[in-house]
Amino acid sequence: MGHRLSRIFTRKGDKGTTGLGDGTQVGKDHPRIEAIGDIDELNSMIGLLLNTQEMPKDLHHSLTEIQQTLFNIGGELSLPGTSAFKAKPVTGLEKQLEMYNATLTPLREFILPGGNESSARCHLARAVCRRAERHVYGLSRIQPVNEHILAYLNRLSDLLFVISRVLTRLGNGRETYWRSPRIKSDS
């Protein structure tokens, strides 16, 4: 691979633009950069989660693979017009969803983010994933985006919710159910 990052600062972005993988310069507030930034933040959140509590090898492996995939998604988003990302990773998330969800009790109500530190961090990653999904969708309304990326982010947010429940159980935490307000009628 050689030395890809031999120089960390270039001063090229000091005026509010940044370069995409194809050399195009865009504003740092461009929807594509927003989407790439959210993917990067999500990847960082998962990295933080991986270092919170001891977790089973299969779960650690799944989250590490998700990080690799997110890096690939960020790379594809930085190259407008590319469409290398396929449906296979989406199918992989669906299988994991089924596997992990089968170990949990059915929900009777919505749960509040929390449970324990790892679960709370996983919920935060889920929220960042939803934001990334919204920004990638927003980008897709003005420029073509690989549809498999949107499907992946949608499944990933679901998986992160399920994993948060698994982490609550593994860390001997407790799920807190949302209490529906009792709305009084004026009549």
Q: What is the pLDDT of residue 80?
A: 87
Domains delineated in the chain: 28-99+109-170 (1.20.1200.10)
Q: What is the pLDDT of residue 12?
A: 66
* DSSP character at residue 26: E
Evaluate if residue 98 carries a pLDDT over 80: yes
Residues 165 and 114 sit within 8 Å (Cβ to Cβ): no
Residues 77 and 136 sit within 8 Å (Cβ to Cβ): yes
Mean pLDDT of 54-69: 94
Mean pLDDT of 60-65: 96
Evaluate if residue 1 carries a pLDDT over 50: no
Evaluate if residue 64 carries a pLDDT over 70: yes
Q: What is the pLDDT of residue 160?
A: 98
Evaluate if residue 161 carries a pLDDT over 90: yes
Mean pLDDT of 44-53: 92
What average pLDDT is seen over the chain?
89
Residues paired with 111 in a beta bridge:
177
The candidate with the shortest Cα–Cα distance to 70, out of 159, 135, 132, 141, is 132
Strands 25-27 and 17-19, sheet pairing: antiparallel
Region of residue 11 (phi > 0: left; psi between -120 and 50: alpha; otherwise: beta): left
* Burial class for 144, CB neighbours closer than 10 Å (0-12, 13-18, 19+): exposed
Task: Select the more confidently predicted residue: 19 or 92.
Answer: 92
Measure the CA–CA gap between 47 and 38, rounded to whole angstroms: 14
* Burial class for 131, CB neighbours closer than 10 Å (0-12, 13-18, 19+): middle
The candidate with the shortest Cα–Cα distance to 125, out of 153, 151, 97, is 153
Q: What is the pLDDT of residue 186?
A: 67
Task: Among 45-49, 55-59, 120-124, 177-181, name the one with the lowest average pLDDT.
Answer: 177-181
What stretches of the chain show up as alpha helix (H) in DSSP?
A: 31-50, 57-77, 88-101, 117-140, 147-170
